[in-house]
Amino acid sequence: MAAPEPEAPTTAPSRAKDHSPWNWLLFIPIVVPLIPAFFNGDSPRIFGFPRYYWLQLAWILLGVATTTLVYQMTKKRGER
């Protein structure tokens, strides 16, 4: 194995592997659950749960849906 060259030039195709615009979607499940105005209220209630509780639990689905979408869209095709 050759010693790595610190100043190795970055090639465009290899950068593309990690820099998909789909990744920006991941900011949605980071930002949305941190806005109390959405969830800090009592009504409407679902199964007796105030909105505060059911909506914050529902953000879990938002997180799962987003990471799943981004994974599917950015996974390398043809290699496996």
C-alpha 68, offset from chain centre: 8
Options 22, 27, 44, 73; binder of other proteins; rule CB under 8 A = 27
Tokens of 70: 């981004």
Say if CB 29 and CB 63 are below 8 A apart.
yes
Q: Is residue 64 involved in binding other proteins (CB under 8 A)?
A: yes
Question: 27-31 contacts: CB < 8 A, separation 24 or more?
Answer: 28/62, 28/66, 29/59, 29/62, 29/63, 29/66, 29/67
Options 22, 40, 44, 73; binder of other proteins; rule CB under 8 A = 40
Q: Is residue 22 involved in binding other proteins (CB under 8 A)?
A: no
Binding interface with other proteins (CB under 8 A): 1, 3-6, 8, 10-11, 14-15, 17-18, 23, 26-27, 29-30, 33-36, 40-42, 45, 47-50, 52-53, 56-57, 59-60, 62-64, 66-68, 70-71, 75, 80
